[in-house]
A and B are shown apart, each in its own frame.
Chain A
Amino acid sequence: MSIHNSGNVTIASGTFTSIFTDSENMVQFIKNTLVQASWTRKKVLAGISFLALAITDGDQFTLGSQIFTAYTGAAHGPNPFPVGSNTATNLMSLGNVVQSVLGWTFTTNNFNIITFTVNDTGDPENDGNLQFCQVNPTGTVGQYDFNPNASPGQGITWGGGFTLTSQAVNSTPLILTVVTNNSSTISIWAGLFKNSFEWNGWKQGNQWQIIASRYQFLFYVPMNITAGTFFLGSHLFPSPGLDHCNYCNGPVDPIIPVGGDRASLVSVGNNYYVNAGAEYFTIPSAAEISQPVLSFPGLGSAITPGDKLGNRLAGKDIVNDLGFAIPYEAALVACQSNPSGANPNFSILGYLWDSVVYSGYDLPDNPAQISGVSSIVLLSQSGTTSDSRASLVAALA
């Protein structure tokens, strides 16, 4: 039905009702479905990561039953815990991997971010290590990542999971790390290391559905379009001029989820990650989040630049002479400037796979038939003088 067909679409459903008891199942569910859709996987060990800032000699924190003490200088033995600093140089000079006294390893992936990982030689198909999620370091050891419920000194822990890699169109496939998390059911971040955008605001107690292909991963709660119920990760069919474009969008904040909703076609502009050679949209600023800088174009009429959808088409389905809405490519458009300002810097990043936008409005989750292919409405908007009336539809077969 779409110009950009991936070949096969995999559908799976799973119900996860409890934050902690189902988190491993949720990770396994995602991993198993994506593997079925031809993604590759690699087990991720449980770990803890934090941004070490201003640790002083003798500071302690606890991981499980073990107490770590920070020491300064080489006089404290062969395996000292690295001492934090507000300068990167000190930590990076410690080397890449050092075996700690507990049999855990730690790495300094990104300046003064320290990551401990558990040695786990168990089943490579099972993430395990859920208990590690219960570990909360105590003591003033530093700050970590961008999780809004994090407070200095807590750190982030994850209970293991998988790095999942899509197939590639040209190069640079989409890599997602999916792990359990002690403050949200799961966390997903782009790339191998926890130093990029993280999605973690999943609503609990829901049935989740996955629509996956070899390039793309839609994860959502049917019949629920509110925040915390939608994630989209895609190795897009790249726009001419791009070798590749990886894009993700989803919720953040496990306490009060923000984004990751299906309210309209501009919902894909919340908490997004775009990498087309550089992560130039890595972390949206508050201003960017408030602007729909990512969207799917609909069809409309406009007389001059700056016009939206006047000329008597506002709020109307546009149908062909058979009464059917008109499907067209699901182009993801980004604007790297104020879209309402003068000369906005628009460009098409790429196209969603196995999806179309059509020129009519239907409620999310309603079934649709696009050129005979069973599909489902994912996003839609009824249209005003400002917005094209349109629905984004994903194929189910």
Chain B
Amino acid sequence: MSTGPYYSPGPISNVTLDASNVQNFLTQLSAALQGVGWKFVKYIPSSSGVTGYALDSVPLAGTAQQMRVWLWYNGRINGVGYPEPLITAMTTDETLYAKDGPITISPGKTERVICGPYQFFLLTENPTYFNASFSINDYGCGVPVLKSTNTNPAFWARYTGGGSSGFRCFRDTLVPNNSFGYAFLLNGLFASDLNDSATIAPQLLTMRSSELQHPIPFFDGNFPVIEPLLVMGKTYGTANAVGLWDAFVYSNPVSSKLVAVADNHTWESYTLGADCGSLFLAIAAQPAAGVPGLSY
């Protein structure tokens, strides 16, 4: 890669959450985020006696950009009767906000959050890796890595939207659907779930060019890593690429969860399955004992 990974000052946390109970899930997610520096702002009144939380991310060094998330519940029940609490990304003044991203609560289910001071990703290892009918598991949002020194608010979010189970953040593809399940705010341009042909929803880049339509390895068969470039914008304007924190893109898909050590961090593949690449997230800011290094 030419630059990156972009390391946050940390800490980085990888926490399992109880997703069999709405309140437990929201409370444990709130605690995990506060554990990496997110700041509690207020309680969010919610349905069924549930207490929700509003949290602000850690201000970026120098420019102080932050985002806010609501972790809350509006009484939503899916088609098989399971409750689905919501995560809502927004600006700290709450004037611009994404559509609500649900997470399905079901008996015996756990979720996991990989989080740092500026971003977090949710996933589950059961009952299915990906979203499925009446089982929504994935969410990601954050304040991106910015080159500019201006203080315009900026954030991105990928989640399951549009009432479908098909939009899976970066869990099964680096290039999720363009129509639903996204929000971004960058340089004053805001969009969320705009089902139009002019919006470039947040997506990650890989190596592509004329006639180079497949993952491209080094001569020894290993694949390069690429800086995690998250591109978004309008087709009639500019396509802006910003960075993800504590992440890289491995330019070949990995078939299952892969945990590896590289650059003094422990990494885990977030993107699973057949794709053109995999997003790896740092799950610890130090090498894990006994975990093999990533070859690249």
* A contact set with B: CB distance below 8 Å: 3, 238-242, 245, 264-266, 276, 291-293, 295-309, 311-313, 316-324, 326-329, 331, 333, 335, 339-340, 344, 346-349, 356, 359, 381, 386-388, 390
CB < 8 Å neighbour of B229 from A3, A292, A299, A388: A299
Quick check: which of B38-46, B72-80, B203-211 contacts chain A, the rest being far away?
Answer: B203-211
Q: Is the CB of A266 within 8 A of B220?
A: no
Secondary structure at chain B's binding surface: helix, strand, loop or mixed? loop
Give 25 pairs: A residue, B residue, CB < 8 Å, sorted on A: A264-B210, A295-B211, A299-B229, A300-B206, A301-B203, A302-B175, A302-B206, A302-B276, A303-B175, A305-B214, A311-B175, A312-B178, A312-B200, A312-B235, A317-B239, A319-B238, A320-B147, A321-B240, A321-B242, A331-B207, A333-B216, A346-B212, A356-B2, A386-B210, A387-B209
Q: Is the CB of B214 within 8 A of A344?
A: yes
CB < 8 Å neighbour of A348 from B206, B210, B219, B226: B219
Number of chain B interface residues as a range: 35 or more
Residues of A within 8 A of B213 (CB): 302, 305-308, 339-340, 344
Q: Is the CB of A297 within 8 A of B209?
A: yes
Interface contacts (Cβ under 8 Å), in number, total 180
* B contact set with A: CB distance below 8 Å: 1-2, 146-148, 154, 173-175, 178, 186-187, 197, 199-200, 203-222, 224, 226-227, 229, 231, 235, 238-242, 274-276
15 additional contacts, CB 8 Å, given A318-B205, A321-B242, A346-B215? A241-B220, A297-B212, A300-B208, A301-B174, A302-B175, A304-B275, A313-B239, A316-B200, A328-B1, A331-B207, A333-B212, A335-B211, A344-B214, A347-B217, A348-B219
Q: Closest CB of chain B to A360's CB: distance in Å?
A: 10
Residues of B within 8 A of A328 (CB): 1-2, 226-227
Residues of A within 8 A of B210 (CB): 264-266, 292, 295, 308, 381, 386-388
Q: Closest CB of chain B to A64's CB: distance in Å?
A: 48
Residues of A within 8 A of B1 (CB): 328-329
Residues of B within 8 A of A326 (CB): 2, 229, 241
Residues of B within 8 A of A242 (CB): 219-220
Task: Give A316 to B231 CA distance when docked, in angstroms.
Answer: 11
Task: Give A259 to B128 CA distance when docked, in angstroms.
Answer: 53
Q: Is the CB of A304 within 8 A of B205?
A: no
- Write the chain A residue with the least CB distance to B251: A297
Task: Give A323 to B233 CA distance when docked, in angstroms.
Answer: 12
Q: Closest CB of chain A to B4's CB: distance in Å?
A: 10
**Which among A324, A329, A348 has the highest number of chain B CB atoms within 10 Å?**
A348
Residues of A within 8 A of B226 (CB): 328
